[in-house]
Chains A and B, each alone.
Chain A
């Protein structure tokens, strides 16, 4: 069973910068996993933010950026705003049509 780990929670001040990460328990995350990131607010379906490691989905502000940092995928929010408060999920593609979600990070902006 593949386990993808994210920080359970994170806090950032308005205008601040925060980096959320996505790790594999038994391997390094690379571009071969096509890391993607989703934002979910209460009562809503997930919204696609980043795909293929660092490509922003249509309409996503450029304060959201994706990268590989060391052996993890990362989502950086630069200049956080109040409406960035949400749950963030990463997904890794493991091959063979198998995708694994991370447990999600609850981001608080205060």
Chain B
């Protein structure tokens, strides 16, 4: 059973960099799956941020593309999110997820979720 755990600062200053790491256990990050980030502002809906593959390929939400960078650390079984410059509108719970893929292709859904990490952007 795969488990995902987000970690990172809970408070970020405006114009700074929002950085989060997701640690994966129960599965290797070097499998065929893709790994993604989804966020949820307080009291609002869910928003897809982007996805990363263990080989380094990425795809980002067009609305965030200019500010987002995702990467993987295969040796630590982790993947990361950087969002810069951060604004108050980026205040949200950030979830890391797994996108289900196999040798036969992807099923294009989020099959596992972390518990979420609240990040507040404020001075």
Interface residues, chain A, CB within 8 Å of chain B?
Answer: 1, 34, 36, 38, 40, 45-48, 51-52, 57, 89, 91, 93, 96-104
Contact = CB atoms under 8 A, between A and B. Distances in A.
B111 A48 contact: yes
Contacts of A103: 45
B62 interface: yes
A33 to B, nearest CB: 8
Q: Which 6 A-B pairs have the closest CB atoms?
A: A97-B59, A51-B109, A93-B108, A36-B109, A34-B108, A45-B113
B109 A34 contact: yes
B107 interface: yes
Interface of B: 34, 36, 38, 45-48, 50-51, 58-59, 61-63, 95, 100, 107-111, 113-116
A11 B115 CA distance: 28
Contacts of B38: 101
B107 A89 contact: no
Contacts of A98: 48, 59, 61-62
B63 A91 contact: no
Contact of B46 (A48, A52, A96, A101): A101
Contacts of A36: 108-110
A91 B110 contact: yes
Nearest to A103: B45
B34 to A, nearest CB: 7
Given A89-B45, A97-B59, A101-B45, A52 B113 contact: no
A44 to B, nearest CB: 8
6 contacts: A45-B115, A46-B95, A48-B109, A52-B109, A57-B111, A101-B46
Contacts of B36: 99
